[in-house]
Amino acid sequence: MSPRAEAIAEAARILQAGGLVGLPTETVYGLAANALDGQAVAKIYAAKGRPSFNPLIIHCHSFEQAAELVEMNADARAAAEAFWPGPLTLILPRKAGCAVSDLAGAGLPTLAVRIPRHDAALAVLKACGVPLAAPSANKSGALSATTPQHVAEAFGDEVALVLAAGACTVGLESTVLDLSGDAPAVLRPGGVTAEEISEVLGKAVLYDHSDPDAPRSPGQLLKHYAPSIPVRMNAVDLEPGEALLAFGHVKFMGIRGGGAAKDLPEESLKNLSEGRDLHEAAANLFSMMRTLDRPDHKGIAVMAVPDTGLGVAINDRLRRAAEGSAR
Ligand code: TXA
Ligand code: MG
């Protein structure tokens, strides 16, 4: 095997085993993990030090692979035909049964997908056989990484491997194009312009961003998808009718007026992590909230999650859910 083929096989092995790889793309280096593996995705957020769970871009090697994850429409087909592989990310509705972890998509009903125009990235994607979640490989708030040295300096031992492939040719993040709404909208300007997209689609493409890195405010988005029933944080006991989202053991948690939380039926009790593992909790957060979000529950009581490491992002999301659901 050539050194390059060996490095690609090694990257694929690490990704399949749930590790992080610094992945070159034509835009910027990505911090990649298996998008189907919630705990691997949790490592991305932990390493980036993101204070909240922003939805991540899911990288694919082919249109067919992307089409397994999202509902393609005519505009998506045209844009993909013209710009993939390349620096264009498409926001589309998640397919029913889409296997991407809820955490990678931050619990949203839409998903960001793109095919990078980079031989090494495509080779890794084909070798590992799973779609890869990859935000830009920089610490939260820092500049994007366009060389392997940037990635190594920022993350050190936190990434198992940085696949070095020199400087990125585009050097600027992909354009994020939302095709899930009534009209195409650019949420983040990037390597492909709205004018170019407009020409291909034969229709107007809006710019919809206030701050280049806060497109259509992920904050607003997240709030929008708050559960439909009230969420109560830092619960130490339960009110009758409430479901429990636990963290750690629930042996001693009582229900006001009588009863124990541990005896709740399965559909009313989910545990983010019995062993109090924040990575496991992050991976479970969105799907468990969704499971407990049922009209026959009066609300969701959530046990306290420590406000350190990934717990900061978990608490941020829970606070948004608590505020959003209280509207
Ligand atoms: O060029 C790039 O796009 C690089 C390389 C590594 O591919 N990746 C990148 O990822 O810049 P990241 O996570 O730093 O930026 C992803 C952007 C964020 O602005 C996020 O809010 C937006 O995409 N995004 C992801 N999913 C979304 C969704 N479902 N709805 C709206 N915006 C979404
Ligand atoms: Mg970024």
Instruction: Single out the residue in 220, 246, 263 at which a domain terminates.
Output: 220
Answer yes or no: do 181 and 254 share one domain: no
Answer yes or no: do 239 and 174 share one domain: no
Rounded Cα distance between 289 and 324, Å, is: 13
Average pLDDT estimate for 36-53: 93
DSSP conformational letter for 254:
B
Instruction: Single out the residue in 220, 239, 260 at which a domain terminates.
Output: 220
pTM of the model: 0.88
Answer yes or no: do 214 and 311 share one domain: no
C-beta of 104 in contact with ligand 1 (< 6 A): no
pLDDT tier, 221 (very low <50, low <70, confident <90, very high otherwise): low
Assess whether pLDDT exceeds 90 at residue 6: yes
C-beta of 185 in contact with ligand 1 (< 6 A): no
Instruction: Single out the residue in 185, 220, 255 at which a domain terminates.
Output: 220
Where residue 25 sits, what CATH number does that domain have?
A: 3.90.870.10
Answer yes or no: do 213 and 305 share one domain: no
Q: In what order do the strands lie in the sheet with 110-114?
A: 161-162, 21-23, 30-34, 132-133, 57-59, 110-114, 88-93, 175-178, 185-188, 206-207
226 part of a folded domain: no
Rounded Cα distance between 143 and 194, Å, is: 24
Answer yes or no: do 194 and 237 share one domain: no
C-beta of 268 in contact with ligand 1 (< 6 A): no
Where residue 241 sits, what CATH number does that domain have?
A: 3.40.50.11030
User: 77-81, 140-144, 222-226: lowest mean pLDDT where?
Assistant: 222-226
299 part of a folded domain: yes
pLDDT tens for each residue of 131-156: 999 999 999 888 889 999 999 999 99
Answer yes or no: do 27 and 128 share one domain: yes
Tell me the torsion sign for CA atoms 218, 222, 223, 224.
positive
225 part of a folded domain: no
Pair 258, 74: CB distance under 8 Å: no
Give every CB contact of residue 97 below 8 A, 6+ residues apart in sequence.
none
159 part of a folded domain: yes
Answer yes or no: do 263 and 165 share one domain: no
Pair 293, 261: CB distance under 8 Å: no
241 part of a folded domain: yes
Answer yes or no: do 23 and 170 share one domain: yes
pLDDT tens for each residue of 80-110: 999 999 999 999 999 999 999 999 999 999 9
C-beta of 57 in contact with ligand 1 (< 6 A): yes
Average pLDDT estimate for 120-130: 98
Long-range contacts of 261-264 (CB under 8 A, 24+ apart): 261/237
Rounded Cα distance between 265 and 195, Å, is: 55
| Per-residue model confidence (pLDDT) at position 211 | 45
Answer yes or no: do 262 and 320 share one domain: yes
How far away, in angstroms, is 212 Cα from ligand 2 center? 10
Which residue range forms the structural domain that includes residue 261? 231-325
Provide the domain count of the chain.
Answer: 2
237 part of a folded domain: yes
How far away, in angstroms, is 284 Cα from ligand 2 center? 24
Bridge partners (DSSP) listed for residue 255: 238
Exposure string for 238-260, b = 16+ CB within 10 A, e = fewer: beeebbbbbbbebeebebeeeee
Answer yes or no: do 112 and 192 share one domain: yes
* Amino acid code (one letter) for 280: E
303 part of a folded domain: yes
Q: Is the pLDDT higher at 52 or at 275?
A: 275
Answer yes or no: do 244 and 313 share one domain: yes
Rounded Cα distance between 128 and 40, Å, is: 14
124 part of a folded domain: yes
Nearest to 38, CA basis, from 290, 308, 287, 322? 287
Residue 172's CB is within 10 A of a number of other CB atoms, namely: 15
Nearest to 120, CA basis, from 18, 30, 20, 17? 30
Taking ligand 2, which is a single-atom ion, which protein residues have CB atoms under 5 Å away? 136
Burial (CB count <10 Å: 0-12, 13-18, 19+), residue 193: middle
